[in-house]
């Protein structure tokens, strides 16, 4: 962990102590549980005698500011079991932790600031009175003790803390902006997808507009893959358990897989959570020579993973999704070249979507070898090659210990959106083990059988997940090339409807997706509706535009005029349809 991240974690953990101290002063009968630092903040779990709400936050924050002035340091104390238990005479949560730590032979460490002290393993700042100034309580939620629904439900208070007021203000602004950009809300407003209790949670249903955006994203990647000599394949949605036993998913990933029941077969089947095991069977379907390699197979088939209900989140965490999976079977001397090609394509795609990004080099945790398949030397080799590729390309990266897949290290792309939030998108993996497990082979130039290396590559990750991220990144205003409706044709009155219909037909002849607003509404109402639907352009047609146009020859776009307005409210005034179409085509070509 770098020093900046370590300090931030210590700051937030210290603030969790401060929150608990304030709560205990305000409600002395409250029982404390645990309060760790988490990403972007901290939380503390309590059992209150009477319920509290977020309306109590100002009172708690005021008390926190009052208390912290008396906190000069965090003093470390070591107690024996009996002494520790006396600190929590009626607190079953702390008593349970003390018993557990004692049985493991761990020391019972307490940290004290001012009049408050608590059982804690440490991780605090040195000068709390000076450092704990810029904090905010955020929300309340229910949380089972130790995450077990059989245990008591506690009250969890979430908060955040930063070293400076500017950082705190920026984060709070981001949180408010994120609420406005929530893709679940925008998806409903823009009529892109829906969910149904009859279909099942985590299983999105795409409307015509949503399916169009999804297909545009997929086609963009598919067209690039064709240029790289990548061949599209298609594989079944469910497969025999034996396939996943060989790949290792049965032992290492089965809890995330949906089991399929057959009325006629006693065989065990599973919905596929990824495409790699199926692609090995396409490779294995006939003999291969070194001259055939690399063999590149891509698959946009649907995948299914049994996510926990509480972890589902619209499109960014669902149970059904498609992945731009590509698996490259190559010789070892081709690995670096193929990895670089995949990284080149990734850069092209990220540039088109407008994401800044860095990479996480996800490696195995050597202290938990039971999580992985394969031998240590091969793991070291694949991790070394992966890191050298990043260094040679001068790509910014950081190491993610324990983040590797169970079969290979990963180059995970972490994209930053317009709110500076980070999302993992693409992944690239060098896999020596799965080809061995499936006994894949090719004949080398000396006539000997060799085992190919298998590269796993998914640039978008999930196209559905990317769609949700893009919605939030653009606040619902997709770039022109991705917008399901690119131009709203708005007649000012019913007199221009027939003429407007012809304008719409011309636009669609040029593959410009358009919609005619023919309802008997005011032009301001139509503009407002098109703006709320985030349609990039509005072509407004009234008597002035119609009188200037050569209506008898609508096929000559240079003689036809429209007044153009953008969704941001910019007025491009009256221009020829020919010029308007050129503006649109140039933007689409440049993915803007």
Catalytic positions: 276, 305, 323, 325, 327, 410, 456
Q: Which helix H or strand E contains 561, and what residues bound it?
A: strand 561-566
Cis check: omega of the bond before 247, within 30 degrees of 0: no
Residues 5, 19: Cα–Cα separation, whole Å: 21
Task: Quickly list H helices, 401-542.
Answer: 433-437, 463-473, 497-509, 523-532
CB 489 within 8 A of CB 514: yes
Residue 161 counted as an annotated binding residue: no
Residues 453, 440: Cα–Cα separation, whole Å: 9
Residues 8, 11: Cα–Cα separation, whole Å: 5
Residues 6+ apart with CB under 8 A from 485: 209, 513, 514, 515, 533, 535
Residue 276 counted as an annotated binding residue: yes
Residues 183, 475: Cα–Cα separation, whole Å: 8
Residues 42, 59: Cα–Cα separation, whole Å: 19
Residues 422, 516: Cα–Cα separation, whole Å: 38
Helix 335-353 to helix 208-227 angle (10° resolution) is 140
Token code pair at residue 171: 């984060």
Residues 410, 115: Cα–Cα separation, whole Å: 48
Residue 456 counted as an annotated binding residue: yes
Q: Residue 484: phi, psi to the nearest 5?
A: -60, -35
Q: Is 590 helix (H, G, I), strand (E, B) or coil?
A: coil
Closest CA to 363 of 409, 396, 397: 409
**Residues that constitute the known binding site for Zn(2+):** 276, 327, 456
**Residues that constitute the known binding site:** 276, 327, 456
């Amino acid at each position: 962990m770098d020093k900046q991240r370590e300090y931030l974690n210590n700051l937030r953990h210290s603030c969790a102590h401060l929150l608990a101290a304030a709560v205990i002063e305000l409600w002395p009968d409250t029982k404390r549980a645990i309060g760790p630092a988490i990403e972007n903040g901290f939380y503390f779990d309590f059992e209150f005698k009477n319920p509290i709400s977020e309306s109590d936050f100002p009172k708690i924050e005021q008390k926190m500011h009052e208390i912290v002035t008396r906190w000069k340091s965090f003093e470390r104390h070591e107690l024996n079991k009996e002494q520790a238990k006396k600190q929590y005479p009626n607190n079953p949560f702390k008593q349970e932790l003390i018993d557990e730590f004692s049985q493991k032979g761990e020391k019972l460490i307490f940290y004290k600031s001012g009049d408050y002290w608590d059982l804690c393993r440490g991780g605090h700042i040195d000068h709390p009175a000076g450092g704990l100034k810029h904090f905010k309580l955020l929300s309340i939620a229910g949380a089972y003790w130790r995450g077990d629904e059989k245990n008591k439900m506690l009250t969890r208070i979430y908060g955040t803390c930063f070293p400076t007021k500017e950082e705190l203000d920026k984060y709070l602004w981001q949180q408010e902006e994120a609420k406005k950009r929530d893709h679940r809300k925008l998806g409903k407003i823009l009529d892109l997808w829906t969910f149904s209790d009859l279909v099942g949670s985590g299983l999105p249903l795409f409307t015509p507009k949503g399916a169009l955006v999804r297909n545009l994203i997929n086609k963009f990647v598919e067209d690039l893959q064709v240029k790289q000599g990548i061949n599209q394949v298609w594989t079944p949605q469910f497969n025999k358990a034996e396939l996943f036993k060989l790949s290792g998913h049965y032992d290492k990933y089965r809890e995330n897989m949906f089991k399929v029941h057959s009325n006629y077969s006693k065989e065990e089947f599973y919905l596929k959570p990824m495409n790699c095991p199926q692609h090995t069977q396409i490779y294995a379907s006939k003999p291969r020579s070194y001259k055939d390699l690399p063999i590149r197979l891509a698959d946009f088939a649907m995948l299914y993973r049994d996510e926990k209900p509480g972890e589902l989140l619209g499109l960014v965490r669902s149970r059904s999704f498609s992945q731009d999976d590509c698996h490259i079977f190559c010789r070892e001397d081709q690995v670096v070249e193929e990895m670089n090609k995949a990284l080149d394509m990734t850069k092209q795609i990220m540039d088109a979507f407008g994401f800044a990004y860095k990479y996480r080099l996800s490696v195995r945790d050597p202290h938990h070898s039971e999580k992985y398949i394969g031998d240590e030397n091969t793991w070291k080799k694949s991790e070394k090659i992966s890191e050298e590729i990043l260094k040679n390309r001068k790509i910014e990266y950081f190491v993610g210990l324990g983040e590797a897949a169970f079969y290979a290290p990963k180059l995970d792309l972490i994209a930053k959106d317009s709110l500076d939030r980070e999302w993992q998108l693409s992944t690239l993996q060098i896999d020596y083990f799965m080809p061995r497990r499936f006994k894949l082979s090719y004949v080398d130039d000396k006539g000997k059988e060799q085992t190919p290396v298998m590269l796993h590559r998914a640039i978008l990750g999930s196209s559905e997940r990317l769609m949700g991220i893009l919605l939030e990144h653009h606040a619902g205003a997709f770039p022109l090339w991705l917008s399901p409706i690119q131009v709203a044709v708005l007649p000012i009155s019913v007199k221009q409807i027939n003429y407007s219909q012809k304008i719409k037909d011309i636009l669609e002849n040029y593959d410009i997706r358009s919609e005619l607003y023919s309802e008997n509404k005011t032009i301001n109402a139509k503009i407002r509706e098109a703006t709320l639907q985030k349609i990039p352009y509005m072509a407004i047609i009234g008597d002035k535009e119609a009188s200037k146009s050569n209506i008898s020859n609508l096929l000559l776009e240079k003689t036809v005029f429209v007044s153009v307005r953008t969704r941001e409210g910019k007025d491009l005034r009256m221009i020829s349809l020919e010029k308007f179409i050129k503006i649109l085509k140039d933007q689409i070509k440049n993915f803007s």
